[in-house]
Amino acid sequence: MNLTLNRTDLIRSESLLDGAWVAASDGRRLEVINPATGDTIGQVPDCSAEDGRAAVDAAQRAFGLFRHTVARDRAALLMRWHALVLANAEDLARLMSLEQGKPLAESRTEVAYGASYISWFAEEAKRGGGDIIPEQHANHRLLVIKQPVGVVAAITPWNFPMAMLARKIAPAIAAGCAVVCKPAEDTPLTALAMAALLQEAGAPAGLVNVLTTSRERAAGLADTWLEDFRVRKISFTGSTPVGKHLARQSADTLKRLSLELGGNAPFIVFEDADLDAAVAGLMVAKFRNAGQTCICPNRVYVHQGVYERFIDKLAARVGSLTIGPATSGAEIGPLINARAVDKVESHLQDALGRGAKIVVGGGRHHCAEAPNGHFFTPTVVADVDASMRMSCEETFGPLVPVTPFSTDEEVIALANDTPYGLAAYFYSRDIDRVWQVAEAIEAGMVAVNDGALSTEIAPFGGIKESGYGREGSRYGLDEYLNIKYIRHGNLAARQPA
C-alpha cells in the first residue's frame, strides 16, 4: 500500500504564523517519527513561548477585522476549506497514517468525519442568531445578540489529529474568532497540512496560527496563552491532568474553557442482549485506532448468565484481527509511542498479578515487516475486578477487560464508580431497562445497542472529570460566542394606530 502524497507541498516543515511559514524564533526543530517503523518522516519547528506570544499578537490583529465580517462570508470561507479538504482527502489520510500509525481506511474515515464539522459549522454560522425578549414596558426594547469571544487557543491531541483540529477551528471561524493552535508533538504534520489548505481557502493572515512544539516545550508555550488576557478561550482535547492544569492556570484571566478530557467508558451486556450485535458493537468501539480513543470501552461488564458465551464470541473476533503498519492494510496499527506500549503492558501485568486471566492475545506484537514498531496484540482479559488498574485508569490500547455482574443495580453502581463521565455503551432489548439505565448512567454520551457515537450533528462531550463544553451539534457554536443583552429604553411608547 502506497503512502506517498500527490501534493508533496502539503508536507510542511514550518509553522504558520501571521500568514507566513516560519521556523521557531530560536531555530529549534523537532523530528516527526513514524510509529510503525521508527523512521523520521519530517522535521517541524520546536516553537517557544516567544513564538506563542507572537501568535497571539497576530491573532488579536486578525480578530480586530474578522469580528466584523458577516456570517455568510465566514460560511463561504469554511465551505472553501471543506472543498479543499475533500479534494485532498487521500493525501491528508496518508499523512495521518504516516505520523499517527492508524490504518489508512481509518484515516480516510477520520478525514470525512473532520470535514463534516467544517461544513456543519459553515451552516451553523448562519444560524447563530440572538433573541428578542418581550418587553415589560411599552417604551423599552430588549434584545440579545451573540458576539465572538475573541482569540481562542486550541490544543489538540495526537489520536485524532485532523478531526480534533477541525472541530475546534471550524466553530471558532464560524463565530468570528481568531485562533492560536498547538497540535500534539507526535502529529504536527496533519495539522500543518490542514492549515495550508485553510490558507489556500483564503483565510486572512493571522486568523489561524498553528505552532508546532515538542512535549518538552508544550507547557511553556501554552503557559503564555494561559497568562495572556487577550486569549479569551481555551478549547482543549487531551488528558484530564492537563485539562485540570489549564483550568487552574487560566483562572487568573477567567477564560472560557471547553475541556474534552479522558474517559473510562463502561460497556454493559445485559442477559437479554443480542450477543452478536453486542460483540460487533464492541469490536467497532474498542479497536478503532488500536484502542486509542477517548470514548472507547475501557471496562466491559457482562451478565453472568451470558458471560461464557459472550467471551467465546468476542475471543473469536479479537483473535482474528490483523496487526501491522498502515502500508500492510492491517486492522490494528501501532500504538503511538513506546510509552503507550509500556502502559498497556503494565495494566495487563497488574491484572494478571491480581487474578485476571488472558483469554486471547496478551503482550507485545513483533511485526516482521516493521520490527521497530510499537505494536501490541489485541487482548481479552477475563475475571477483571474493580481493584485492577485497567478498571480505574484509561488503558488507551487494544486491551478488553471483562467483568461478570448479576444485577442491574450492581452494574450501574460499577459503571458509575469512576471520576470520569465521557461515554457509555449498553446492550439490552428490554425497553424499560433501556430507559432506566440510559438515565442512570453518569456520562455525557450514551450508546444503546450501538458501538458508535460520534457525529457532527450530536453534542460530543463529557461530565465529571471528563470535562465540560460540547463540540458539534447546535450547541457547539455557543462555546465560541458571548451573549450580550441590549436594553433600549425611553423610546416613544407604542400608540394605537
Rounded to an integer, what distance in angstroms lies between the CA atom of residue 214 and that of residue 196? 20
* 3-class DSSP assignment, residue 118: helix
Looking at 11-19, 142-150, 218-226, 304-312, which segment touches ligand NAP (CB under 6 A)?
218-226
Backbone angles phi, psi at 62, to 5 degrees: -65, -40
Looking at 29-37, 239-247, 279-287, 475-483, which segment touches ligand NAP (CB under 6 A)?
239-247
63 and 70 Cβ atoms separated by less than 8 Å: no
Q: C-beta of 264: minimal distance to ligand NAP in Å?
A: 9
Q: Could you give the C-alpha distances from 305 to 126, 266, 271, 301, 405, in angstroms and in order?
A: 53, 19, 6, 12, 9
289 and 403 Cβ atoms separated by less than 8 Å: no
Backbone angles phi, psi at 129, to 5 degrees: -70, 175
Q: Is 128 in the site for ligand NAP (CB under 6 A)?
A: no
Q: C-beta of 323: minimal distance to ligand NAP in Å?
A: 21
205 and 19 Cβ atoms separated by less than 8 Å: yes
Q: C-beta of 168: minimal distance to ligand NAP in Å?
A: 10
Backbone angles phi, psi at 50, to 5 degrees: -60, -40
Q: Is 218 in the site for ligand NAP (CB under 6 A)?
A: yes
Considering only 118, 242, 273, 351, the residue that binds ligand NAP (CB under 6 A) is 242
Rounded to an integer, what distance in angstroms lies between the CA atom of residue 31 and that of residue 166? 24
Looking at 80-88, 97-105, 178-186, 383-391, which segment touches ligand NAP (CB under 6 A)?
178-186
Q: Is 253 in the site for ligand NAP (CB under 6 A)?
A: no
Rounded to an integer, what distance in angstroms lies between the CA atom of residue 216 and that of residue 203? 30
Q: Which residue is nearest to ligand NAP (CB)?
A: 238
* Cα four-point dihedral sign 287, 291, 297, 302: positive
Q: Is 262 in the site for ligand NAP (CB under 6 A)?
A: yes
Q: Is 97 in the site for ligand NAP (CB under 6 A)?
A: no
Rounded to an integer, what distance in angstroms lies between the CA atom of residue 152 and that of residue 80? 21
Closer residue to ligand NAP, CB minimum distance, 53 or 80: 53
Considering only 42, 150, 171, 238, the residue that binds ligand NAP (CB under 6 A) is 238
Looking at 28-36, 61-69, 234-242, 352-360, which segment touches ligand NAP (CB under 6 A)?
234-242
Q: Is 155 in the site for ligand NAP (CB under 6 A)?
A: yes
Q: Is 158 in the site for ligand NAP (CB under 6 A)?
A: yes
Looking at 39-47, 237-245, 318-326, 370-378, which segment touches ligand NAP (CB under 6 A)?
237-245
Give the interface size with ligand NAP as a residue count (CB under 6 A).
26
Continuous segment of H or E residues that includes residue 426 = strand 423-427
Q: C-beta of 218: minimal distance to ligand NAP in Å?
A: 4
Residues 455-484 within binding reach of ligand NAP (CB under 6 A): 462
Q: Is 159 in the site for ligand NAP (CB under 6 A)?
A: yes
Rg of the Cα trace of the chain?
24
Q: Which residues contact 241 (CB under 8 A, 6 or more apart)?
A: none
Residues in contact with ligand NAP, shown as a per-residue x/- string from 179 to 198 under the rule CB under 6 A: ---x-xx-------------
Q: Is 122 in the site for ligand NAP (CB under 6 A)?
A: no
Looking at 12-20, 78-86, 157-165, 372-380, which segment touches ligand NAP (CB under 6 A)?
157-165
Query: What is the crossing angle of helices 71-87 and 163-175, to 10°?
Result: 160
Q: Which residues contact 446 (CB under 8 A, 6 or more apart)?
A: 423, 424, 425, 426, 438
Annotated catalytic residues are 260, 294
Unique residue bearing C-alpha cell 501490541: 376
Rounded to an integer, what distance in angstroms lies between the CA atom of residue 482 and that of residue 485? 10
Q: C-beta of 363: minimal distance to ligand NAP in Å?
A: 22
Residues 196-215 within binding reach of ligand NAP (CB under 6 A): 215
Q: Is 445 in the site for ligand NAP (CB under 6 A)?
A: no
**Contacts with ligand NAP, residue ranges (CB under 6 A):** 155-160, 182, 184-185, 215, 218-219, 222, 237-239, 242, 245, 260-263, 294, 394, 422, 462
